Chain A
Amino acid sequence: MPLMPVILWTDALVFLLVISAIGFGLYAARHEHLRAPWRRVARSRVGIGTLVVLSFYVLIGLLDTVHFRLPLADQTAGTETGAGTKFGPDVLSLFDAWAAPLRERQEKTYSAPFATHLFVKEAITQPDGSVIRDYPRLNYGGRHLKDPTQRGWDILRLTLRGLAEGLIVWGLIAAQVVWSTARGQGIGFMAARDVLLAGGTAFPWRTALGTLAVMLVLGFVAGELALRYHILGTDKVGEDVFFQALKSIRTGLVIGTLTTLVMLPAAILLGIMAGYFRGWVDDIIQYLYTTLNAIPGVLLIAAAILMLQVYMSNNADQFESLVERADLRLLFLCLILGVTSWTGLCRLLRGEALKLREADYVRASSALGVGHFAILGRHILPNVLHIVMITLVLDFSGLVLAEAVLSYVNIGVDPTMNSWGNMINSARLELARDPMVWWSLTAAFVFMFALVLAANLFADVVRDAFDPRLRGVR
């Protein structure tokens, strides 16, 4: 069955980011001054532990970035020319397809985590024709149970099954690692296992495998349970909250990474030019970023998003689908967040370039008649790359948090887009209900907290590895 690939704007930029990350990895591998700090990161236990957690997020985010449209089931409808397959209007991602059971099993409205019954009472027609008001059974959650009181045992059974599956997969990976360690060090399998358990390897395998075990078990248990229940409940229109929280990962990652990416060229170019050339170039660039900095960030974002809304409501016909529209708004949000946040990096780079231009090797190449831009590209740029990298990593968690706040104020991502900010925003009314609907908020909290905490800890490791003196940058 042919699929029609759809590449949204942010998808393209994410692919670009992945390609440049790979490219940079290859570049860094050949340069000792970049390789050494990364080696230090890889030797750090906190660094590796958080990296494992982050890679789970990244994996889901990437799966959710490959978009396509499915062919329509009914190909015959209205085809005279027979020119190719017809495609449905829905833009799906690999993740959507993979998590289809979660996406498709919609209830009527709210239901609590692991519930078998709806959260609100409804009029139910009994078999004998009488009508009572009670909580109806859910369409999907716990449907396989004949007797809902058996739920506890069923959950336990599924948990154990998920646990076993997770441990088996982990065991295979761990055995592979032990085996290759044994071969590398020329010792027996059991001896290698003892070395790993004692944490005796340069690469902290013990931490890596430990974190991996936790993540795999969590993943498999959640997977097993999510097929039978709504493990984080359902929201107002009956959508699975667990699914929403997983879908929000992409939004968070896109905001956290693309924002820095789109501002990088301008920040790097202007920053090192200001520091290197000084004089009027410096004056202009300083004026530029002081002016942008003077505008309160939230207000600039609000103003820009308001303008975008006006533009979109006046040019509604330019957008083919809701997804495209939401995607463009996300991209625009990244751009405008980038505009408000590039100044910090620019100032840092300017300061560094001011120092570097006095360095002996720069003065030597200048004396040898090397052109200004050649010096910038060959001597200044490679020597400020570590600052760029630290900023990229440090800014990430702040941007993820900023997304939540902005969406709360309605100037964030599109309301139709899955994001933690939107989940929190809708939770405001749910908390006022009695009894309280607490699961949307909890889900958003847990997923966001895990990501941001991991990113923060990882950022600290990266910063310390690259430049302990930059401790106070944040």
Chain B
Amino acid sequence: MIAYILRRLLYAVPILIGVNLLTFTLFFVLNSPDQMARMHLGEKRVTPEAITNWKQEHGYDKPLLFNEAASGLARVTDTIFFERSVRLFAFDFGSSDDGRDIGYDISQRMWPSLAIAVPVLLVGLALNISLALFIVFFRATYLDIGAVVLLVAMLSISGLFYIIGGQYLLSKVFHLVPISGYDTGVEAWKFLVLPVIVGVIGGVGSGVRWYRTLFLEEVSKDYVRTARAKGLTERRVLFRHVLGNALIPILTGVVVVLPLLFMGSLITESFFGIPGLGSYTIDAINNQDFAIVRAMVFLGAVLYILGLILTDISYTLVDPRVRLQ
């Protein structure tokens, strides 16, 4: 087991290098720092001195890959590639274009993100599983058909409309909770209610439909027929046998996204003004702050790979048939 995890971790290294090279190419080779400076300065103030100044201020004035002017090891280390990309491996994200420490910002901003993402995940999971079980209990009736149509309709609505509709109903019409904003400490709860509700409802369509198929697959298996044949009630069959076995794909599906919860949700956070990592990324995109975008790309890749490893491990934990080697 430990050997397996170690091997997977080693396998992650080339992937991260690949991600890093790709972002490096995207940000520095396809667009030279000169062009970046020109865009940040705006058309009117572009002078050669201004560009040089801007590059110096933000540390983009070094050669890309190989520094001929330096000597020894500094030939490789005193370059943009080393300063900007290699350092990411040590989770040293450097500073953003307006001079703030990205690592510190991330550590501060991940908590609001988690405060939304975790409740959405847990409440959503509970709600989706119970709704799916309910529908499966009434399978092949008009209730089932009607529910499936409703689910497809729900997943055909863009998430943006759930947010706008939720804000309109709960905040503007009924004045129950503030439309957007955030507060520190326990007071934050009233700002969190609406995003969590919207997040849960927005996920019902796809979630319940997916779980329903999982349950239906289990229901048609032999052991369920055996359970019924020995006289168990339908309720007991569903809750003890079907639910237990269907939890395996559900759980592993959840484990994949667990690490990515840290990244927050771009749309939800920017709509509700939550100072999490999602809105951090959006702001960076809108301000064209490449340093932050690069840091988030790297972080996302790390968390994704972590999710894959966790999934494999969780398989062995919940499904005794799977053995890692």
Residue of A nearest to B308 (CB): A290
B305, A296: Cβ atoms under 8 Å?
Answer: no
Q: Is the CB of B39 within 8 A of A310?
A: yes
A291 touches B286 (CB 8 A): no
Partner of B297, one of A295, A409, A472: A295
A397 CA / B164 CA spacing, docked (Å): 20
By beta carbon, the residue of chain A nearest B149 is A457
- A409 pairs with B285, CB closer than 8 A: yes
B39 touches A314 (CB 8 A): yes
Chain A, Cβ-Cβ closest to B267: A405
- Per-residue CB contact flags for chain A residues 289-311 toward chain B (1 = under 8 Å, else 0) read 01111111011101110110111
**Contact of B26 with A299 in the complex, beta carbons under 8 Å:** no
Is B120 interfacial (CB-CB < 8 Å)?
no
Docked complex Cα distance between A397 and B161 (Å): 16
Contacts of A293 in B (CB 8 A): 304
Report the minimal beta-carbon distance from B180 to chain A, rounded to whole angstroms.
Answer: 11
Considering the chains assembled together, what is the distance between the CA atoms of A452 and B156 in angstroms? 5
**Mask for B278-312, Cβ within 8 A of A = 1, else 0?**
00011001101010011011001100110000000
Residues of A within 8 A of B35 (CB): 310-311, 314
Q: Pick from A9-17, A197-205, A441-449 the stretch touching chain B.
A: A441-449
Q: A307-B30, A460-B152 are in contact. Are A295 and B22 (CB under 8 A)?
A: yes
Which A residues, 425 to 440, have Cβ-Cβ distances below 8 Å to chain B?
427, 431
A453 sits at the interface (CB 8 A):
yes
> Taking the nearest CB of chain B, how far is it from the CB of A303, in angstroms?
5
Shortest Cβ distance from residue A359 to the other chain B in the assembled complex, whole angstroms: 25
Interface size on A, residues (CB 8 A): 44
A410 to chain B, nearest CB (A): 6
How far apart sit A199 and B286, CA to CA, in the bound complex (Å)? 55
Query: Known contacts being A299-B296, A472-B213, A472-B214, is A405 close to B286, with CB within 8 Å?
Result: no
Interface status of B15 (Cβ within 8 A of chain A): yes
Interface of B (DSSP majority class): helix
Which residues on the B side are within 8 Å of A424 (C-beta)?
158, 160-161, 164
**B residues within 8 A CB of A294?**
15-16, 19, 300-301, 304-305
Q: How many A-B residue pairs have CB under 8 A?
A: 124
Q: Is A393 an interface residue (CB 8 A)?
A: no
Number of interface residues of B (CB under 8 A): 50
B284 CB to closest chain A CB (Å) equals 9
Known: A294-B301, A453-B153. A472 touches B210 (CB 8 A): yes
Contact A405 B290 (CB under 8 A): no
Is A287's CB within 8 Å of the partner chain B? Answer: yes
Residues of chain A contacted by B305 (CB below 8 angstroms): 294
Pair B290/A306 contact, Cβ less than 8 Å: yes
In the complex, are the beta carbons of B210 and A474 less than 8 A apart? yes
The answer to whether A456 touches B156, judged by C-beta atoms less than 8 angstroms apart, is yes
CB of A471 closer than 8 Å to a CB of B = yes
The answer to whether A410 touches B286, judged by C-beta atoms less than 8 angstroms apart, is: yes
| A397 and B156 within 8 A (CB) | yes
**Is B30 in contact with A287, judged by CB distance below 8 angstroms?**
no
Please name the residue on chain B nearest to A451 by beta carbon. B156
Judged by a CB distance under 8 angstroms, whether B38 is at the interface is yes
A405 and B158 contacting across the interface, CB-CB below 8 Å: yes
Determine the chain A residues whose CB is within 8 A of the CB of B159 once the complex forms.
401, 405
Q: With both chains docked as a complex, state the minimum distance between the C-beta of A300 and any C-beta of chain B, in angstroms.
A: 7
- Asked if B31 and A299 sit within 8 Å, CB to CB, the answer is no
Tell me if B14 is interfacial: C-beta within 8 Å of chain A.
yes
* Cα of A8 to Cα of B78 in the assembled complex, Å: 45
Which residue from B16, B160, B210, B297 sits with its C-beta under 8 Å from A405? B160
In the assembled complex, B168 has its CB within 8 A of some CB on chain A: yes
For window 138-164 of B, CB contacts with A under 8 Å fall at 152-153, 155-161, 164
Task: Pick the residue among B15, B27, B217 that contacts A303 (CB under 8 A).
Answer: B27
Q: Give chain B's interface residues, CB within 8 Å of chain A.
A: 14-16, 18-19, 22-23, 26-27, 30-31, 35-36, 38-39, 152-153, 155-161, 164, 168, 206, 210, 213-214, 217, 260, 263, 266-267, 270, 281-282, 285-286, 288, 290, 293-294, 296-297, 300-301, 304-305
- Of the A-B pairs whose beta carbons lie under 8 Å apart in the complex, a sample of 21, sorted by A's number, is A287-B15, A291-B15, A291-B22, A293-B304, A294-B305, A295-B19, A295-B297, A300-B297, A303-B293, A309-B39, A309-B288, A310-B288, A397-B156, A401-B158, A401-B159, A405-B159, A408-B267, A409-B270, A409-B282, A424-B161, A427-B164
Q: For the complex of A and B, list the 3 residue pairs with the smallest distance between their C-beta atoms, beginning with the closest.
A: A296-B300, A291-B18, A294-B301
